[in-house]
A and B are shown apart, each in its own frame.
Chain A
Amino acid sequence: MQSHSSLSNEVLKPMDYNSVASPRTAAAGLEINKVLKNTYLLLSATIIFSAVTAFFSMSMGMSVNTYLFSVIGAFLLGIFVLPKTANSTAGIGVIFLITGLLGFGLGPIINIYLQAANGAQIVTTALGGTGIIFLGLSGYVLTTKKDFTFMAGFLMTGMMVILLGILANLFLNIPAFSLAISAGVIMLMSGFILFDTSRIVRGGETNYIMATYGMYLSIFNIFIHLLNILGFMSDD
């Protein structure tokens, strides 16, 4: 699982949405809309780029170890390079590099599932399900404007528990535990989508590159773990 960045790189700056309209509030609202628009535009572009690199690695028949190396590369870029470049145009190149790498690593994983009799159905169902989850949760936050920033502590604890669980299951190799971890990751990443979108809407996140990184990781992790659950639970 890719670790989430939004909580580790930004200080929460909640805004008062109930204040009487003023030029300062209107300007802040315009800024928030700008961050939202740029985030979703960049997210769309990086997802499409990721799909292209996934297609290439599928066509090249890359080995499954490609996923491991792509995750390592993306993680190192996300920790050491992206925070330093997020405030410059270089950050856009870095985010495309990260998402391209992750997409490239995804290709061999998708190839494995496509080998099953109903593999295409599993992959497309996971893809559709991921899209519905992301759009549904984002839409919920954008329309209700509820504040989900209270979830920070819960999400960080959940992340730690999940990572420790994954570490343990590397050596225990219990399929049921793997399923439980996947279910936990999907719920955790759903929580992160609520949290991240809420932060943008309330002005707590002003850097659209970091916001895109967080959203992309949530979508990526949901897709991977939905594949795992659907692949395990299918009749094949």
Chain B
Amino acid sequence: MDWTKILWAVLIVMMIASLWPAYKHHMKHGKKAEKGDWEGALLPLGAVVVLVVLLIMSVR
């Protein structure tokens, strides 16, 4: 097996391990969404999707 793949795998496992405590904390104590919160987030994220599609069309 390619040694670079093993090194990438070790790095990613380390990233997951380093984020695990924060993940557990935010799943337990994180702020919950209120009414209208996700609608407010979908607008800018939807714009990102449209932009990426336009960028793909520009290089084809």
Residues of A within 8 A of B (CB): 1, 3-4, 7-8, 12, 14, 65, 68, 71-72, 75, 79, 118, 121-122, 125-126, 129, 132-133, 136-137, 140, 144, 146-153, 156-157, 159-160, 163-164, 166-167, 170-171, 183, 186-187, 190-191, 194, 226, 229-230, 233-235
Contact = CB atoms under 8 A, between A and B. Distances in A.
B23 A157 contact: yes
Given A7-B22, A129-B52, A157-B27, A191 B41 contact: yes
A160 B22 CA distance: 11
B45 A191 contact: yes
Nearest to A234: B59
Contacts of B7: 68, 72
Interface string B1-39: 000110111011111101101110011001111100100
Interface of B: 4-5, 7-9, 11-16, 18-19, 21-23, 26-27, 30-34, 37, 40-41, 43-45, 47-49, 51-52, 55-56, 58-60
Closest 5 CB pairs of A and B: A8-B22, A150-B33, A153-B30, A3-B15, A234-B59
Interface of A is mostly: helix
A73 B13 CA distance: 15
A150 B55 contact: no
B34 to A, nearest CB: 7
Given A8-B22, A152-B30, A163 B48 contact: no
A151 B41 contact: yes
B46 to A, nearest CB: 10
B19 A156 contact: yes
A226 B52 contact: yes
B27 A190 contact: no
Given A3-B15, A164-B16, A170 B8 contact: yes
